Amino acid sequence: MKVFVVNCGSSSIKYQLFDMAGEKVLAKGLLERVGRPDAVLHHTVNGTRHERQMGVGDHSAGLKFILDILVDKQAGVIARIDEIEGVGHRVVHGGEQLTQSQLITQDVLQIIRRNAELAPLHNPPNLAGITAAMAALPNTPQVGVFDTAFLASLPPQAYRYAVPGAWYRQYHVRRYGFHGTSHRYVTLRAAEYLGKSPEQVNLVTVHMGNGCSMTAVAGGKAVDHSMGMTPLEGLMMGTRCGDVDPAVIFYMARNASLSMDQLDIALNQQSGLLGVSGVSNDMRDCLAAAQAGNDNAALAVQMFAYRVIKYVGAYYAILPSCDAVVLTGGVGENSLPVRRMICEGLQRLGAAPDAARNQACIGGKAGLITSDGSALKVMVIPTDEELMIARDTRAIVEKTGS
């Protein structure tokens, strides 16, 4: 079965086409600058990169452009578009109703539309991608895979905020969490690696990319998570502040005369590694600047690792036991110094850092980065959200017999 996975952002479309026999990626790519006359499509087949440019007015035109290249004589990988038997869509916010992957019906579309209030930057482009795919492939089942779904198992003491109850009941103010597809994928892979069934495994999973989040997993289910009602809470990120005293917001509004929009931009786009280092939101740049003697960059990296260590401590306390701390995402999969700092910071909990193993886990390789006999295992598992979406899509298409 061929499954097409689509991830629409406000001005981009990421995609992968899988042959589920062997879970092989036939083609993948990224269309950038959707909505502009100079859109560019980066399309990769078997390591060969193709680049095409053209004006792409909206997501619907963008998707058509991508579907065309999939059947293109030179850069294509299938003969006909109807070889695609299922389309899997990444949808950021499923809210309290869409708690598992499912076939997209008119009712589901309606709920995703309603949840746009909670994810105004993400759900509208996700919806645009779904409607475009439904129009382009009207006879192909479309499946929604929700970032929030894996976190739907959080108990109320973890998802409620200590704010007036009516805020939750009337305005749905609560922790939803994000990156759930990544946390679910690495949970399954870690269980496999540790020789346990997913229902037996207790983990702390740490996703460190541009956005960063952590999940406490007990018996294979999420029981706490660092991101909140929006992806701003929790760990320090590339440009997002993570945890901050909410009173800072009123203080800066009153004393620096910042508007709500300016505060939103400051905390979402000008904070995190970028805000503290003054150098970059990219961990590689911060590490290089720190190495070259930039104290602000060194502090930013230190704060980033410190907050991960602090959260692991908190999650360790609430879990029945901890089989491993799992690191993933661009930083978790690649950054030896950040991984070393995290392992060293976890020595009080029994982690015994292993420099050679840390060195060996790069380039997409999974493995332990603590020594044999370490009381707390720390491991690296490269994430693969697209594969998770493709697997869910296949399972749902097969189950519904669509």
Q: Which is nearer to ligand ADP, 137 or 325 (CB)?
A: 325
* Site string (151-190) toward ligand ADP, x via CB under 6 A: ----------------------------------------
Interface stretch with ligand ADP, choices 120-128, 323-331, 363-371, 392-400 (CB under 6 A): 323-331
Host H or E run for residue 306: helix 295-318
From candidates 127, 154, 214, 331, binder to ligand ADP by CB under 6 A:
331
CB 84 within 8 A of CB 76: no
Q: Interaction with ligand ADP in 203-262: which residues (CB under 6 A)?
A: 209-211, 238
Per CB under 6 A, 66 contacts ligand ADP: no
What is the token pair recorded at 292?
């070259």
Paired residues of 311 in beta bridges: none
Q: Please, what is the minimum distance in Å from the beta carbon of residue 231 to ligand ADP?
A: 10
- For residue 230, give the 3-state DSSP assignment: coil
Per CB under 6 A, 330 contacts ligand ADP: yes
Distances in Å between the Cα of 104 and the Cα atoms of 55, 94, 98 are 29, 12, 11
From candidates 334, 370, 374, 393, binder to ligand ADP by CB under 6 A:
334
185 phi-psi bin (left φ>0, alpha ψ -120 to 50, beta other): alpha
Of 84, 105, 80, the C-alpha closest to 16 is 84
Q: Which is nearer to ligand ADP, 144 or 329 (CB)?
A: 329
Distances in Å between the Cα of 64 and the Cα atoms of 20, 129, 220, 386 are 23, 11, 39, 20
Half-sphere exposure of 360 (CA within 13 A, CB side): 12
Per CB under 6 A, 393 contacts ligand ADP: no
Q: Interaction with ligand ADP in 193-212: which residues (CB under 6 A)?
A: 209-211
Count of residues of this chain found to bind ligand ADP when the rule CB under 6 A is applied:
12
46 phi-psi bin (left φ>0, alpha ψ -120 to 50, beta other): left
CB 29 within 8 A of CB 44: yes
Q: Which is nearer to ligand ADP, 95 or 329 (CB)?
A: 329
Q: Please, what is the minimum distance in Å from the beta carbon of residue 157 to ligand ADP?
A: 29
From candidates 19, 83, 192, 282, binder to ligand ADP by CB under 6 A:
282
Measured between alpha carbons, how far is 394 from 91 in angstroms, rounded to an integer?
17
Per CB under 6 A, 335 contacts ligand ADP: yes
Q: Which residues are catalytic?
A: 147
Q: Which is nearer to ligand ADP, 147 or 224 (CB)?
A: 147
Could you give the angle at the alpha carbon of 148 between the alpha carbons of 143 and 154, nearest 5°? 135
Interface stretch with ligand ADP, choices 12-20, 24-32, 46-54, 282-290 (CB under 6 A): 282-290
Per CB under 6 A, 283 contacts ligand ADP: yes
Q: Which is nearer to ligand ADP, 196 or 340 (CB)?
A: 340
Binding residues (CB under 6 A) for ligand ADP: these are: 209-211, 238, 282-284, 329-331, 334-335
